[in-house]
Amino acid sequence: MGLLNRLECPRCGYTTEGSAGMDAGFSGMVETMICRTDRELVDVLVWDSGYSSSSEVGTCYKCKGTNLETWDPVKHPCPRCGEQVRVTPMRIWD
């Protein structure tokens, strides 16, 4: 089971929800990445157990692009301003 977190930037106000790193559930494994096209943090499917389309693996779920950069789960940089985002656990998924 994975953990869904709220990610908030205290400087610019950017807010999203995601795993905040590598995480796994029954149907697959995700890794939080920065989509450079959207300037968003997104959980990217990096492995799936066969329930998803193979075209979803390694792509941004918002724009379907591959202009992705690994997000540092220790420094937590905001994709918009670089400030460290706050990570608040919300609930378990899957």
Q: Quick: pLDDT tens for 7-66.
A: 999 999 999 999 999 999 888 899 999 999 999 999 999 998 876 666 789 999 999 999
Please give the pLDDT value at position 87: 96
Domain map (residue ranges) of the chain: 2-93
As a whole number of angstroms, the distance between CA 9 and CA 77 comes to 9
Please give the pLDDT value at position 93: 81
Alpha-carbon torsion (66, 69, 25, 92), positive or negative: negative
In degrees rounded to 5, what are phi and psi of residue 10? -70, -20
Please give the pLDDT value at position 61: 92
